[in-house]
């Protein structure tokens, strides 16, 4: 999420993020242990930032790669007829994300913008 955009709801009509569970989740759940999922934390965070619940879309699949995420988003873009897309990622991941998403979505009429999250402690100037 990009600072200023999400709370003002001026950058996106819908926010999409994948849903998934970590390894061992089923074991913990079977023992009655509640493990907070990333998707639940993000959902609450977005609501606390003022995003309307109807604008949050939680995907049913998860991927362990940028390519897989781009393919999941492609299916969403095709289904929902999305014309522009803002992908928010870590600053160190923006270039790879842009190249990957552009390649996966190249034959669709969709504008792709990749922006770094302002909430990262990554500082390339400190390398």
In tens, the pLDDT along 31-78 reads 999 887 777 888 888 889 888 888 887 776 777 788 988 998 999 899
C-alpha distances in Å from residue 43, one per residue of 4, 46, 55, 123: 17, 5, 11, 27
Comparing CA positions, the residue from 94, 77, 84, 14 lying closest to residue 46 is 14
Provide the total of helices (H) and of strands (E) in the chain, helices listed first.
5, 4
> Smallest Cα–Cα separation from 3: which of 91, 76, 63?
91
Q: What are the residue boundaries of the structural domains of the chain, listed by start?
A: 15-62, 63-127
Q: What is the pLDDT of residue 112?
A: 93
pLDDT tens, position by position, 71-105 = 989 998 999 898 998 888 888 889 999 999 999 99
Contact between residue 72 and residue 59 where contact means Cβ atoms under 8 Å apart: yes
């Amino acid at each position: 999420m990009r600072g200023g955009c999400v709370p003002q709801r001026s950058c996106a009509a819908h926010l999409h993020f994948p849903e998934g569970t970590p390894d061992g989740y089923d074991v913990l759940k079977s023992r009655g242990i509640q493990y907070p999922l990333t998707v639940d934390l993000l959902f609450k965070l977005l609501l606390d930032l003022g995003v309307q619940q109807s604008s949050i879309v939680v995907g049913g699949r998860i991927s362990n790669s940028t390519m897989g995420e781009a393919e999941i988003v492609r299916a969403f873009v095709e289904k929902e007829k999305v014309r522009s897309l803002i992908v928010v990622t870590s600053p160190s991941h923006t270039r790879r994300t842009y190249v990957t998403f552009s390649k996966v979505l190249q034959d669709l009429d969709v504008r792709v913008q990749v922006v770094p999250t302002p909430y990262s402690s990554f500082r390339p100037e400190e390398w």
